[in-house]
Amino acid sequence: MKQVKNFADVESLLGELGFKPSYEKNIRAALRKSTKAYATDALTSIPVDLAAYDAKWGRGRVTFIPSGFKTKPEFVDWRKLVRSALVRSQINVPKATLSNSWTAIREAVSENQGTGRLLGFNSDLSIAVLAQLASQADRTPSQLDDYWIDETHRDVNANKRDSFRRGIKRFNTLIENKDLLPAISELLPEHCIVLPKGLGAARNPWRRNAKPSLAPLTIQAAPVAGRFPRVGSRRDVLLFMPVPLFKEELGSFSSGQK
């Protein structure tokens, strides 16, 4: 596979990136429309630079419609389609760069991915990133260890980090099901790989679906002189505090004791 330098290279590579035919057709049309968005005559003049692409077109909320687009949805669809092609073109790895053991792993993944199979669509692309990095470090599949995984996860290019993580998860799926994969079972390690540190964000206690660490407290205004202070009064503001409300106390106040 040739080196990807510009949008023309991405378009010529589309058939190898693992997109579904219908989605690939939409991406191809979006890439060709890029000449209008970039105000140029040729795709070869548009470099492949994901950071520059995000800086120019953004990734979140759309506050204006760039020149060359008539509607906001038209721009958003174009931006998403082109970006998916750029990301995939950067993580797609030619099999020739892999060691023999990793080539066998990737081929097994390709044969066992898709609907109703062991792995989901495009799992071979995620495995490819892990395989390439391991091959460059002269590590066979059985030689992967937690230290190397953590160090590589920290040093890998940011636009490949998510694919590297997914590759580890797919690799662990192979390990868990090695009995179903006799062709590569001897190449796999005995135990699953521990996911890199910092893989998941800590639970935010303020999220709506976060479970509280403590049981909820019942809050009542402290009674004064046998009566509850009137809501909104100065006394209510000053004396409002959490106090336990027991049946005995409630009975004494309701009986009118002073």
> Does one domain contain both 73 and 118?
no
83 and 158 in a common domain: no
Q: Among residues 70, 91, 112, which one ends one of the domains?
A: 91
Query: Structurally, how many domains does the chain consist of?
Result: 3
> Cα separation of 128 and 148, whole Å?
17
209 — pLDDT class (breaks 50, 70, 90): low
64 confidence band (pLDDT: 50, 70, 90): confident
State whether 103 and 23 are in the same domain. Answer: no
User: Of 166, 187, 208, which residue sits at a domain end?
Assistant: 187
Model confidence pLDDT, tens digit, residues 19-54 = 888 888 999 999 999 999 999 999 999 999 888 999
The tens digit of pLDDT for each residue in 76-122 reads 999 999 999 988 887 654 544 678 899 999 999 989 998 888 998 88
Do 142 and 223 fall within a single domain?
A: no
Structure tokens at 163: 């694919």
Domain end call among 51, 67, 91: 91
In a domain, 203, yes or no: no
Other CB atoms within 10 Å distance of the CB of residue 91: 21
- The answer to whether residue 202 sits within a structural domain is no
**Closest to 191 in 3D by CA, of 145, 132, 128, 129:** 145
Tell me how far apart the alpha carbons of residues 236 and 94 are, in angstroms, rounded to a whole number. 72
> Is 192 among the domain residues?
no
The range of the structural domain enclosing residue 128 comes to 95-187
Q: Assess if residue 200 is contained within a domain.
A: no
pTM of the model as a whole = 0.46
pLDDT of residue 40: 92
Highest-scoring range by mean pLDDT, 120-134, 143-157, 168-182: 168-182
